[in-house]
Amino acid sequence: MTSHPSHRFCIAPMMDWTDRHCRFFHRLLTRRALIYTEMITTGAVLHGDRARLLAFDPGEHPVAVQLGGSDPAALAQSARICADLGYDEINLNVGCPSDRVQDGRFGACLMAEPALVGEGVAAMKAAVRIPVTVKCRIGIDDQDPEASLDAFARTVVAAGADALIVHARKAWLDGLSPRENRHIPPLDYDRVYRLKRQNPALEIAINGGIADLAAAATHLRHVDGVMMGRAAYQDPWRLLAVDRELFGAPAPFATPRQAALALVPYIEREVARGTRLNAITRHAVGLFHAVPGARLFRRHLATKGVKPGAGAQTFLDALALVRDDADERTAAA
């Protein structure tokens, strides 16, 4: 039996953002975080370019794949494929509110169909030995989160879900874009804390608006884990403190610069295979914070990193614009 990865600190699944290059980079910054792929539909897993969509670097572990879908047989088949590829967890998306997703009867609209989600979870659990988890909202539209989240949790837990990751706000399916659905419906952390109190044996991670590691530590007094999305992606320098602050373990690198240098062999390897530099470095532009040259680093990558022929040297040139001594001071602070 595979050991269950910890959900104490997770980096959220984010379409177009948490691709394999992003995940490789994040893994340089934290060894302990559980990282998630972008959502991949069962249709894409079963009929798409599987090798490209599901590829990951062995160094990414522990890494969870997030599936989008609702047909239990398709979910089970997709889960088996992902488990065979070596993913550490299967996560089901019950939180995405986009129209495309609603048409396919999956994502957040499944909050209204706990029985169907339960069938999907049970089918996946029967198909794989790795953990199966669900990422959901506290409710949708005019649902009363008190009742809807309890009913949802009861059903998916009875179906065998190993953990629940709850984005602590509703999704409003009519009238709000996916982007608006990430900040307009109000956050209700207490609702998630109550769910944990009522289900002490269920592993629960909280998500939504967690801005820094201090906030993460506060949530960890109430729930088992936190999932950070935008703050982790936009300010990846935060991730370098995760192992130390949340796990009491040494940071993988003493400074952001050292982590950046560790990315260079990966860049060389990928560029040699035909990957554009920018496809990798676009995830790293926010690596430096509050040090002289951070903005120049960002700008150099945004302008020179997109040019044909850009490669590891372009990245090193950008790095040379960041002041070393200031970098060392930040790390020591």
Ligand X SMILES: Cc1cc2nc3c(=O)[nH]c(=O)nc-3n(C[C@H](O)[C@H](O)[C@H](O)COP(=O)(O)O)c2cc1C
95 binds ligand X (CB under 6 A): yes
Cα angle vertex 233, ends 228, 237, to 5°?
Answer: 95
Work out whether 17 is an interface residue with ligand X (CB under 6 A).
yes
* Euclidean distance between CA atoms 154 and 257, whole angstroms: 46
Number of H helices, E strands in the chain: 16, 8
Q: Give the interface segment with ligand X, choosing from 51-59, 77-85, 141-149, 224-232 (CB under 6 A).
A: 224-232
Q: Which of 158, 161, 180 is nearest to 171 (CA)?
A: 180
User: Please, are residues 35 and 10 in contact by the beta-carbon 8 Å criterion?
Assistant: yes
Residue 89 to residue 162: CA distance in whole angstroms: 10
Least separation in angstroms between residue 281's CB and ligand X is: 18
Residue 139 vs 209, nearer CB to ligand X? 209
- Widest CA span in the chain: 58
**All residues at 6 or more sequence positions from 303 whose CB lies less than 8 Å from its CB, including other chains:** none
- In angstroms, rounded to a whole number, what is the distance separating the alpha carbons of residues 71 and 76? 9
**Pick 238 or 300: Cβ nearer ligand X:** 238
CB of 213 to ligand X, least distance (A): 12
Q: Which residue has the tokens 């060392």?
A: 328
Looking only at residues 58 through 87 of this chain, which bind ligand X when binding is defined by CB under 6 A? 66
Residue 189, interface with ligand X (CB under 6 A)? no
Check residue 89 for interaction with ligand X (CB under 6 A).
no
Please report whether residue 39 would count as binding ligand X according to CB under 6 A: yes
For 92, how many CA atoms within 13 A lie in the half-sphere containing its CB? 36
Tokens of 224: 């088992």
Using CB under 6 A as the binding rule, the residues of this chain from 204 to 223 that contact ligand X are 207-210
Q: Is 230 in the site for ligand X (CB under 6 A)?
A: yes
Q: Considering CB under 6 A, how many residues would be counted as binding ligand X?
A: 23
Among the listed residues 22, 82, 96, 109, the single catalytic one is: 96
Assess contact for 256 and 331: CB atoms under 8 A. yes
Nearer of residues 207 and 255 to ligand X, judged by Cβ: 207
Q: Interface with ligand X includes 228 (CB under 6 A)?
A: yes
Structure tokens at 324: 């070393």
What is the C-alpha to C-alpha distance for residues 328 and 297, in angstroms, rounded to an integer?
16
When asked if residue 301 is in the footprint of ligand X (CB under 6 A), the reply is: no
Q: Which of 182, 219, 283, 300 binds ligand X (CB under 6 A)?
A: 182
Interface with ligand X, residue 120, by CB under 6 A: no
**Least Å distance between CB 70 and ligand X?**
14
Q: Binding to ligand X by residue 305, rule CB under 6 A?
A: no
- Give ∠ CA 261-15-258 in degrees, rounded to 5: 10
Q: Does the active-site annotation cover 96?
A: yes
Amino acid at 297: F
Among 135, 170, 196, 257, binds ligand X (CB under 6 A): 135
Nearer to ligand X, 167 or 257 (CB): 167
Q: Is 279 in the site for ligand X (CB under 6 A)?
A: no
Binding-site ranges for ligand X (CB under 6 A): 12-17, 38-39, 66, 93, 95-96, 135, 167, 182, 207-210, 228-231
